[in-house]
Amino acid sequence: MRIGIVGATGAVGQETIQVLKDRRFPVTELHLFASERSAGKTTETAFGPVTIEAFSVEATRAMDIVFLAVSGDFAKEFAHAISSPGGAIVIDNSSAFRYDDAVPLVVPEINGRRALGQTLIANPNCTTAILLMALAPLHAEVGVKRAIVSTYQAASGAGAEGMTELAAGAREFLAGQPVTASKFAHPLAFNLIPHIDSFQDNGYTREEMKVLWETRKIMEAPEVLLSCTAVRVPTMRAHAEAVTIETLRPITPAAARAVLAEAAGVQVVDDPAAKLYPMPLTASTKYDVEVGRIRESLVFGDTGLDFFVCGDQLLKGAALNTVQIAEILI
């Protein structure tokens, strides 16, 4: 298949190339599109050297599948033009179409069938995708009434430049110098920033609201209540989330572990005695989302659970999920 990646030089674009290779996606042609600045440069990829092309609607329409690893504004401007009849299938990693009723929002393990026959498919927010790997199987089992989510989000959520800024900031901090910040609202090294995306009138950030909106859409559960606090933390590329849920029907931690052990894309890492629980150290560069610290909630009793999830932000939070969507379509 002719595959196009728009935003190929970014962190997600780069991971997408690698995931296509690792999963032996049937790529017959790989076209990498980026800004005029990068066009003409040749880059080494898992598929061999590829010369980067300047983006055009015409060139991308000639592909079979186009991955958009670009901003929401860019996606809004071009996604329909690329995917209209006679064009390519577009899988968009931005938030541009996630809340558009006409566009499916897909996590393959949960609602993959929604992608079938579609020419424009939205990939969820990284925090939502990672959360739902654990939440959706539990919802299917006992029904989730309320979820309280506190996130520990890595620098990669702000792209390759986010990771670079964190490393540079850590060096500055350790050298006793002031830490500079441009990708983040404040210095991130050795700090926490409870501010991701823009603030809404209700006091929540858009990042926090995305988790609610997208959870409801993907799980097809508009009745679920969810409150999120999204915090940027000084880790590189794996998001973690502390989750408390109230369920409609009782469930024991052992039963929850059994449900999650059967769930595709989930690895139950829950053996405290052996110091095994989800962590960025172990979840980074891993396809599966780690779930552990599963225990009965002390506030909701036997209709409640507390647990901790950790997943690679660039993989299940982005590139892996988009490639899995593409796999459904071929």
Q: Does 281 bind a second copy (CB under 8 A)?
A: yes
SS3 189: coil
Q: Which of 278, 210, 274 is nearest to 241 (CA)?
A: 278
Residue 172 to residue 119: CA distance in whole angstroms? 46
User: According to DSSP H, which parts of the chain are helical?
Assistant: 11-22, 57-61, 72-83, 108-111, 126-142, 159-174, 206-219, 253-262, 280-283, 320-329
Task: Single out the residue of 20, 256, 260, 310 in contact with a second copy (rule: CB under 8 A).
Answer: 310
Q: Does 157 bind a second copy (CB under 8 A)?
A: no
Q: Does 160 bind a second copy (CB under 8 A)?
A: no
User: Which residue ranges make up the annotated binding site for substrate?
Assistant: 153, 232
Task: Single out the residue of 293, 303, 327, 328 in contact with a second copy (rule: CB under 8 A).
Answer: 293
Q: Does 292 bind a second copy (CB under 8 A)?
A: yes
Task: Single out the residue of 2, 183, 195, 286 in contact with a second copy (rule: CB under 8 A).
Answer: 195
Task: Single out the residue of 75, 105, 121, 148 in contact with a second copy (rule: CB under 8 A).
Answer: 148
Residue 171 to residue 160: CA distance in whole angstroms? 17
> Could you give the string, one character per residue 27-66, with x where binding to a second copy holds by CB under 8 A and - elsewhere?
----------------------------------------
SS3 25: coil
Smallest separation (angstroms) from a second copy to the CB of 225: 4
So which residues are the catalytic ones?
A: 126, 239
Q: Which of 130, 86, 76 is nearest to 240 (CA)?
A: 130
What the block records as the tokens of 165 is: 């800024």
Residue 289 to residue 127: CA distance in whole angstroms? 11
Q: Candidates 11-19, 41-49, 112-120, 290-298 — which segment interacts with a second copy by CB under 8 A?
A: 290-298
CB 312: neighbour CB atoms within 10 A?
28
Q: Does 187 bind a second copy (CB under 8 A)?
A: yes
> DSSP letters along 86-150, please?
TS-EEEE-SSTTTT-TTS-B--HHHHGGGGTT-SEEEPPPHHHHHHHHHHHHHHHHH-EEEEEEE
Q: Does 133 bind a second copy (CB under 8 A)?
A: no
Residue 97 to residue 120: CA distance in whole angstroms? 9
Smallest separation (angstroms) from a second copy to the CB of 154: 9
CA 326 from centre of chain: 15
> DSSP letters along 230-289, please?
--B-S-SSEEEEEEEEEESS---HHHHHHHHHHSTTEEE--BGGGTB---HHHHTT-SSE
Q: Candidates 50-58, 114-122, 184-192, 260-268 — which segment interacts with a second copy by CB under 8 A?
A: 184-192
Smallest separation (angstroms) from a second copy to the CB of 252: 11
Smallest separation (angstroms) from a second copy to the CB of 128: 15
Q: Does 219 bind a second copy (CB under 8 A)?
A: no
User: Which residue ranges make up the annotated binding site?
Assistant: 9-12, 37-38, 98, 153, 156-157, 178, 232, 313
Q: Does 268 bind a second copy (CB under 8 A)?
A: no
Residue 166 to residue 179: CA distance in whole angstroms? 9
What the block records as the tokens of 276 is: 């095994």
Q: Candidates 72-80, 82-90, 95-103, 190-198 — which segment interacts with a second copy by CB under 8 A?
A: 190-198
Smallest separation (angstroms) from a second copy to the CB of 110: 21
User: Which positions lie near a second copy, rule CB under 8 A?
Assistant: 146-148, 150, 152, 167, 170-171, 174, 185-187, 190-195, 199, 202-205, 212, 225-229, 231, 233-236, 240, 242, 244, 253, 272-273, 275, 277-281, 292-300, 304, 306, 308, 310
